[in-house]
Amino acid sequence: MKPSNTQNFERIARAIEYIGANFRAQPTLDDVASHLHMSPYHFQRLFSEWAGVSPKKFLQYISIEHAKKILRAPQATLFDTTFDIGLSGTGRLHDLFVKIKGMTPREYKNGGADLRIVFSFLESPFGKIGIASTHRGICFMAFADSETDAFADLRAEFPKARIEKGATESHNMALRSFYGGETETLHLHLKGRDFQLKVWEALLKIPMGRLSSYGALANELKTPKAARAVGTAIGKNPIAYLIPCHRVIQSGGMLGGYRWGAMRKTAMIGWESARVLDEQAIKPDLYQGALNAKGN
């Protein structure tokens, strides 16, 4: 039986975690495969199928030096980009098709008492994910270890809403966005304060394969002294992946934390880079912790 996306991601995450903890010892492909109780051949094949590149190249994409190189690029790409990168093949940008709608003051204050919400629990390339929507759009999208955990998180966001299990076309569209397919406009129906909505809208303008910092995002919002507030708003983002808060890192190149786990953030950044940057023949520098993979 073919392993699920979640099973594959769990193995990839364990590999990235092992390499991150042992990079000073320069682990070989054999070392990492042994840690996962896999043969080197099958580990290399699994990793390459999931990421689209070899383990060695993937780790180049998530190195600090590579992150610094991206951050040094002109910041105009955040808001003035023509979004022409990655528009072919697997790098199709979903961000163009995501639109935010804020909830009404009544919906915001009453815990969703007037809302009917449809909830489903699905598989993504980065593990299981809960997706929920109202008649106006996706209102919740969060990674979770179990359906029970995801449902509890949704209930905490909308304690008075009528929540039903099911699936809608918007859920399927949200899931397709991981794979870069063509989509219709996908609406998000979000509960947030005005500043939070502005930050989340700004995140949508960071193209796939690019990174920004908290300070740069604050500057783009013309609130240069509000980097901490920007960080807080990013941390409260209720829509995983579609609102790409994983593309914001520390100004020094460190990837930083993530609401749904730093390892998942690391995997997302490398996965997107593999689909966009490799198409443009961007060759990142080697770094000390890169995996000494064989057969590249």
- Catalytic residue numbers, as ranges: 245
Phi, psi of 137 (to 5 degrees): 150, -175
What are the Cα distances from residue 205, in Å, to 97, 109, 171? Answer: 11, 28, 22
Cα Rg, the chain, nearest whole Å:
19
Q: Positive or negative, the Cα torsion across 102, 104, 108, 112?
A: negative
Phi, psi of 166 (to 5 degrees): 170, -165
Of the candidates 130, 123, 131, 93, the one whose C-alpha atom is nearest the C-alpha of residue 6 is 123
**Contact between 234 and 240 (Cβ < 8 Å):** no
State the CB neighbour count (10 A cutoff) for residue 199.
27
Tokens 């979640």 sit on residue: 6
Cα 70 to the center of its chain, rounded Å: 17
Q: What is the largest CA-CA distance in the chain?
A: 59
**Contact between 32 and 217 (Cβ < 8 Å):** no
Residue 12 amino acid letter: I
The CB-based long-range contact list for 224-229 (8 Å cut-off, 24+ gap) reads 229/195
- φ/ψ region of 198 (left if φ > 0, alpha if ψ in -120 to 50, else beta) reads alpha
